[in-house]
Every structure is written in structure tokens, then in C-alpha cells.
Amino acid sequence: MSSHGDPIPMTSSACGPLSGVAEVPGDKSISHRSLILGAMAVGETTITGLLEGQDVLDTGKAMQAFGAEVINHGGGSWSVHGVGVGGFAEPDQVIDCGNSGTGVRLIMGAMATSPISVTFTGDASLNGRPMARVTDPLALFGCQAVGRAGGRLPMTLVGAADPVPVRYTVPVPSAQVKSAVLLAGLNAPGETVVIEEEATRDHTERMLAGFGAEISTEVTEEGRVITLKGQPELKPQHIDVPRDPSSAAFPVCAALIVPGSDVLVPNIGLNPTRAGLFTTLREMGADLVYENEREEGGEPVADLRARFSPDLKGIEVPAERAASMIDEYPVLSVVASFASGETHMPGVKELRVKESDRIDAMAVGLRAAGVTVEDGPDWWTVTGLGHGNVPGGVTCASHLDHRIAMSFLVMGMATQKPMSVDDGGPIATSFPIFEALMGGLGADIQRGG
């Protein structure tokens, strides 16, 4: 099992206004997919703006173990020499995906229809997460999986030698599951069809089309019906990875709760399957403006300007918006603590099976910091105390979860007493420049408990 080294306690204290420009790193979802699809194309894919977080680096190492050549040219510029659909070699080592559920689930899909055996592992967080949601549909292609009880890693997958195409309705709203099935469908003959009742992030569909696959999406009464024609030759691409809205969430939310702040977060993708947080914040009364709205690479993009918002109101966050902001609920719960009234967040069962049980991790820390939180299996409610009234002054467990660590550190920028996390190390999985970037805006984050 991998681990990320000794814990790194961090403390965040109240600071003066945050100001300046926050250049957040590349999108994590698109970065994983760039490496994986690059490895499945024939020839050289070039990538700029790749997120060089540990999760993505682990996916890059995995692609090398499958026979692709992955080269770091420096400054976020990478190239991948792909082996083609069906061209994966059998790795001679265990594939360690570290902390990354996206990495392991997408790679499982990508290898499931090749006649190779692969053993996957990860850190303590990843080895506790459910994998049957992916291995069940992969079994329909003819791929076998043997893991620990409850379908947990470490786990060995034996890819199908004679894969058959699949028609599969995804039972939980999960872009990882949808993407695993589509990637497996690449090396199956005929048409693979994936149906999702609720729309989840659609980067895999968009990127597969960009790589030359025949893929179409039809919105029907059943939901989104995605049809992929198997065994294409994927053509190498140049990919300029847009910046990650899920990382942008942290400087945006910090600016809203720290008095006097005015922060510009440029070039953020506002794909509707990802932008739910920003809609929600605006409904809460946030001074959050989309500047310079434009289209880049077929995706809506804007510069986000966030200013201190003293009169935030709690709201009901529509359950049907959950998939488009699933990674942003932890930091939303922090903003909700500084709002007046209740923020009710229904339809969020999936938060319980992320890098940590994110409802529980946040609820425990928020309560300790003086905020009232109620929760049930698939909902939670935060009762805000209003600006300036949140006590803080506690150390929270980050549970090997980057977004939990960053959320509590954002909180400490506006609580009466500092907030600490027991381990900020996992932040490096998705946002390795978080401390430096927030410090550059004026935040006071120190290492130490």
C-alpha cells in the first residue's frame, strides 16, 4: 500500500483582505483523461497545462507501465506516445494509484478489454473505497476481478480476451463509472451504450470525440444515452488543459468570507456539468462575477471575480444540481457557516464514498468549530452564524482527503480563532501550489498544528 509520507499539520489564521490574481492549476479530470486517451491513441499526444498533482502523476506512471511513453518537458508541458486501442502491455508491477479514485477507475476501464492481468492498489483512503461500481459493469465485457471483501483494493483484474459490447445504465451518478465503461467499450467490437439518468461531467465524451471516436449522446426519457462505436483508431491530439473549477472554488470561497477581499481567478472552465458551485454561491448572494465570458476549445470559460460578501444567505441547494458540484460541498459548507440561516444540501449520498466520508469529516470539524450541522444518509444542513461570528479554534482531521484539508484552511481565514488540520499533505494530490497561491493573495497558512 502506498502512503504519502509523514503528516503535515497546517494552521490557518484570520488575515487581512485577500487580493490579487489566483492562477489555479489544470483540471484534474481532464488531466487524467489526457494521459489515458493519449496512451490509447496511435502516435504522439502533446499536453500543456497538465495538473502536476500526485493523482495525475500516478496515472502517468501507470500509462508508462502499460507501455506508453510519457515525457515531462517541464512547465506543465507533456507528451504521450500512445500504443493504440487494445495495445496495452501487461505491467510487470502492481499499479499504485495512490489517493486517486478517478485514476484507478478510469485505468480499470481502459485495460478491461485487453487480455492482460493487472493488480491495483492505493493508499489507505483509496483502498477503503468501493470498486464494485466499476468492476460490475466491466464484468459484462468479460473482465474478471478479485479483490478484498466489499470489492476493495488491492484487486486484480483479468481483462477480457474476447470482449463483447455492453449496454449499461449507471446506477449511481458517477462520471468515473460512466467513463470506465466507455473506455472499456473502446476495445470491444460493435456499439457500447451507457445510460445515465443524471448528467455527470462529460469530459470523457467530449475528449473521445476529439480523439476521433464515433460517439453520440442523445437525451431521452431514460436519461442521457451515450453510444460509442468500438475499436476506433484514436488520433493523437494537442490538449491545452483548462484550469480546474474545483480548485478555483478555494480562492473564490475564501474571498467571499474574508473582509475586504477582491480576487480574480482567470480562465476557469464553466462547463455546466462542473459549475454548480458558482450558481449556488450567486444564489446565496455572493459577489461573484463572470468576466470576459468566452468559448475555448468548445467549452464556456470566464474569469471569476470574487469579492467579500458580508450578507450571504443560506439556501436550499437543489438535489439535481449535486453532480455538477459534487467535489465542492466541503468548501460550500464552510461558506454556509458564514451565511445567515440554513443551507440544506439534499441528494448527496455520493459524498459518503469520496476520498473520505465528506459529510462526516466536515460535520465533525464544523461542529467542533461552533457551527450547527445536521446530517442524514444523503443530506446535510449547515446553520450559518453570519459573518464574524464563527468561533473556530480547533484541529480537524483531514482523513487523507485534500478537499477536507483545504476547506478547513479556508475556514480559518475568517474564524475568530485559527483552524488547524492534522495533515495537509494530501493537498498535493490536486492543488500542489495551494499554500503558495493562497499566501500570495494574503492568507496566513503556517505549517504546524
Q: How far apart are CB 177 and ligand S3P at their closest, in Å?
A: 6
Q: How far apart are CB 36 and ligand S3P at their closest, in Å?
A: 11
Q: How far apart are CB 326 and ligand S3P at their closest, in Å?
A: 5
Look up 327 and say whether it is catalytic.
Answer: yes
Q: How far apart are CB 269 and ligand S3P at their closest, in Å?
A: 13
Binding segment (CB under 6 A) for ligand S3P, from list 37-45, 138-146, 170-178, 306-314: 170-178
271 is an interface residue for ligand S3P by CB under 6 A? no
Binding residue count for ligand S3P, defined by CB under 6 A: 10
Q: How far apart are CB 126 and ligand S3P at their closest, in Å?
A: 12
- Looking at 61, 81, 201, 243, which residue binds ligand S3P (CB under 6 A)? 201
Near ligand S3P in 218-257, by CB under 6 A = none
179 is an interface residue for ligand S3P by CB under 6 A? yes
Q: How far apart are CB 15 and ligand S3P at their closest, in Å?
A: 28
Q: Of 55, 202, 327, 401, which one is the catalytic site residue? A: 327
Near ligand S3P in 9-38, by CB under 6 A = 29
175 is an interface residue for ligand S3P by CB under 6 A? yes
- Looking at 170, 326, 339, 413, which residue binds ligand S3P (CB under 6 A)? 326
- Looking at 198, 350, 357, 444, which residue binds ligand S3P (CB under 6 A)? 350
Question: Judged by CB, which is closer to ligand S3P: 338, or 380?
Answer: 380
3-class secondary structure per residue, the chain: CCCCCCCCCEEEECCCCCEEECCCCECHHHHHHHHHHHHHEEEEEEEECCCCCHHHHHHHHHHHHCCCEEEEEECCEEEEEEECCCCCCCCCCCEECCCCHHHHHHHHHHHCCCCCEEEEECCCCHHHCCCHHHHHHHHHHCCEEEEECCCEEEEEEECCCCCCCCEEEECCCCHHHHHHHHHHHCCCCCEEEEEECCCCCCHHHHHHHHCCCCEEEEEECCEEEEEEECCCCECCCEEECCECHHHHHHHHHHHHHCCCCEEEEEEEECCCCCCHHHHHHHHCCCEEEEEEEEEECCEEEEEEEEECCCCCECCECCHHHHHHHHHHHHHHHHHHHCCEEEEEEECCHHHHHCCCCHHHHHHHHHHHCCCEEEEECCEEEEEEECCCCCCECCEECCCCCHHHHHHHHHHHCCCCECEEECCCHHHHHCCCCHHHHHHHHCCEEEECC
192 is an interface residue for ligand S3P by CB under 6 A? no
| Type of residue at 382 | V
327 is an interface residue for ligand S3P by CB under 6 A? yes
174 is an interface residue for ligand S3P by CB under 6 A? yes
Binding segment (CB under 6 A) for ligand S3P, from list 174-182, 226-234, 248-256, 364-372: 174-182
Binding segment (CB under 6 A) for ligand S3P, from list 7-15, 75-83, 173-181, 280-288: 173-181
- The residues annotated with a catalytic role in the active site are 327
Binding residues for ligand S3P, per CB under 6 A?
29, 102, 174-176, 179, 201, 326-327, 350
